[in-house]
Amino acid sequence: MTANDYGFDTLAIHAGQDPDPRTGAVVPPIYQTSTYAQDAVGAPRLGYEYSRSGNPTRDALQECLAAIEGGRRGLAFASGLAAEDTLLRAVCRPGDHVVIPDDAYGGTYRLFAKVAENWGLDWTAVALDDLDQVRAAFRPGVTKLIWAETPTNPLLNIADIAALAGLAHEYDAMLVVDNTFASPYLQQPLSLGADVIVHSTTKYLGGHSDVVGGALVTANDELGEQLAFHQNAMGAVNGPFDAWLTLRGIKTLGVRMERHCDNAERIVGFLREHPAVTEVLYPGLETHPGHEVAAKQMQRFGGMVSFRAAGGQEKAIDVCNRTKLFVLAESLGGIESLIEHPGQMTHLSAAGSALEVPADLVRLSVGIETVDDLLADLEQALG
């Protein structure tokens, strides 16, 4: 099934998920097995030998991921960072260089600064919404990737995917887009020229805060084969039950994202008028510097909202500690609303670096609860 044949919600429900041919089960089974009986030496049945190398439940998820992103190959991993690490070691070599966002997710920054750098991979952090900065950071023949997040985590900056893809390809490099915040429902970077998409499937794709996973989706078969080799060789694969849970979540991605966006827009309007808030960061606002680009490449503006608290870090932490419906927790993209202080939580690894986030910043993952209840919770927490 491809995007040329069916709409997004149809693909999310059916791609890779035909009824079980033996029993007629509408939901694909969980193949909770480590190994497979072979018909003869050198003749594995349907190509299945060992579940690190291949598993029918994971294959169903991978086919669905490729379909909903409009890609050629989807690959599922144990976590988003496992997917990122596999990608870097598949396409880069010691001595290569990567351009990353100057407000990247803290875990991505840690991977580059504390792991990949020790392996010999160099990197430069720049504002990806400034193409002149990106071009100035390029080292022709050495820079292999532009690594983009859009919207970024947690400052919700927007990068122009098509423009970055053109710049990367001008230098025979690739564009990688972390599409976790937008989800494939709101944004499809491959159609805009990106070469690889990264997901933490833990977030909107899984959608229920009950499974950890990651994914890569590629625009061409050759790169897909290269990444599949490394997926097997490095081994950080998605387990069958995790794959099944993620597939279950993807089925309702479209309807959930509409509600996430509806609720986020109401909350943004409330926060903009509250005296305890100095700034609201949301690409749906016409005052947001990336609004026009976001409107061009996104269907809607997402369920993530960040704001800066009047009163600095102390007030920001106090708000996080006072909410009742907004759960104080890391992660995002689940049906329940979450609140966090990035500087002390998800982005602590970036403290003291050029990627350090403002101390007064609060990040909301807006869930699908009754929005009036969420507004009342924020009202009492802001005081």
Q: Which residues are catalytic?
A: 52, 105, 178, 203
Distance CA 299, CA 26 (A): 30
**Angle, in degrees to the nearest 10, between helices 371-382 and 312-322:** 140
Given a contact cutoff of 8 angstroms between Cβ atoms, the answer to whether 16 and 64 are in contact is yes
User: 348 is written with which tokens?
Assistant: 């602590």
Q: Cβ-count burial of 25 within 10 angstroms (0-12 exposed, 13-18 middle, 19+ buried)?
A: exposed
Given a contact cutoff of 8 angstroms between Cβ atoms, the answer to whether 97 and 122 are in contact is yes
The pair phi, psi for residue 152, each rounded to 5°, is -80, 165
Distance CA 383, CA 375 (A): 12
Distance CA 364, CA 267 (A): 10
Place of tokens 């791609």: 15
Q: In b/e form, how buried is each residue of 37-66, taking b as 16+ CB within 10 angstroms?
A: eeeeeeebeeebeebbbbbbbbbbbbbbbb
Distance of CA 281 to the CA centre of its chain: 19
